[in-house]
Structures are given as structure tokens and as C-alpha cells.
Structure 1
């Protein structure tokens, strides 16, 4: 999954910064945003850890199984949450992609990073996340402000920043899937 060191470090920085912002969003006064932010922070930091260049740190072979179990549990939680809120299906796909990449990394030989995974599943996930990135990008296009719409929300409650974080994680997922 790991390509050149420079792109790996860029992915680590992007995902870690997104995870850090999501941790700060957990202080929001809106309960739904706090819940979503916690899962997104976990996903951001997990993606950052998986993107560390292999030349710097080669995790032990059991680490990939631990990632698969962790993100499998995240996926089960997303499946449970999707019963009431179908928008959690994206989190299920995201967690499934992380499990897929973890299993592919666990199956790669020795300490070498990378592996083809299941090419069909990798391709389907890649198509999904490319479409997700395009849709998320369009949602960031500003709309004219409505006069008298009320006070601006706090910096942690700004939906456009949360959307930008989701967009950055979607782009990181595309990059990670391409490097498989």
C-alpha cells in the first residue's frame, strides 16, 4: 500500500490533521456532531498510522490483524447506527475499506508493504471513494448567505469544515487504495 516516502508523509499529515480536528469537534454542543467526530477521528488517526512509510516504521505482522479487528468493530458499530440513520452507511464502507487494506497488508509476504488485495473489491472501493470525493467536493461549493439567518456557529460546529474533513479523508482513501 505504501508508495514513495514523500506521498506517504503527505498522507500521514493529512490524516493526522483531520483526526486532530475531529477530536476538537468532539467538544461541539451538538450531540450528533460529537458522535460523528469521534468515529471520524478514529478513522483519521488509523489512516495516518497505516500510511507511515515502510522505510521509517515497519509494524509487526500482528499489527495488521489488530487493525482489521479494530476497523471491523468500527464497521459493526456503523452498521448498527445505520439502522436509524442511513448516512452511517458511508462509515460502514469506510471501515470495510480499512479492513480490506489491513487484510491485504497482513497477507503480504515478510516485511514488504503492499499487496494487490482482491483486485475487484479494491476497484469497487476505488470507484465508490472517487464518486464520494466528487460529491463531497460539490457540497463544499458556497451558497449565498441568507440575511437574518442567525448567529454563526462556533468553529467546531461549522458544517463546511466537517465536510472538508470528510473530503480530505475520502481523498486519502483514494490514494491509499491506489497504492495497494
Structure 2
């Protein structure tokens, strides 16, 4: 695979943007205890550790799609509720380590995959029937997903101790 340090142009831009938003998300958990990371600070089920877990799982599944299509993406079932919570025995450090491992794998794939390669989307009510996404579209989706959840995380963190990612 191509080293991500040697990337230029579109690939470098996509990767730099994804890394920036991952950094915003990771900043929201900096210095927290496991108990703080598992705390629900709003009426929603979201906690900071759960957001780290969710974004890592989502990124991993979408990159499985980028490589092998819907079938590869759907090999493992999704815990729709548990993906947003820290389970007993999970630690923030462990969730961050997995997040970073998934990010490293994604970065290598972005460096190597054909951005124009496309696969039909899985059948789901939230996807247009018969639509396909390119690897480029998958990466853009990951940027949007990570950015959105970094914003959620910033609100949750501010409710814990007043810290802000952007403030």
C-alpha cells in the first residue's frame, strides 16, 4: 500500500479532512475518567465513550463496504442500542485504542483504493433503492458522520465539566 505521508491532491485532502474531524472528536474525551466517559449528560442515550465506539464501528463497517460491498459490510450484526453506550468492562482507553486502530486501517485503504470503485448500497429504508456509492462517497460520508458526532460530543463534554472543543 501507499504511504499516507506521500499522498497529494484529492486523497490528501480527503484524508486530512477526516483526520481533522477525528481529532475534534478525540479532543472531547481528553482527560476524562471512564466514569465521565460513560455518563449520559442529556436525555439521550449518548455518552462520550459510546460516541467513540459508534464512530469507530461505523467507520470500520463503511470501509468493509468500500472494499467488498454490502455483503462485507453486513457480515457482523450491529448492536443498535449498545453501540452508543460503554458496556461493563469497557474503558475509554480501550475504545480510543480501537478507534485509532480503525482510523489507521482506513487511512491505508484511502491511500490504496480506487476512489471511483463503486458498490450497490445495502437494502435499507434510508438508502435510495438501487443506488451505488463510490469509495469517494463513502469517505465523504465518514467525514460527515465523524463531524456530526464530534459536535454531539462537544455538547456532552461541555455538560460534564465545561470544556469545549472549539471554545
Q: TM-score, normalised by structure 1?
A: 0.32
TM-score relative to the length of structure 2:
0.34
**Structure ranking higher in helix proportion:** 1
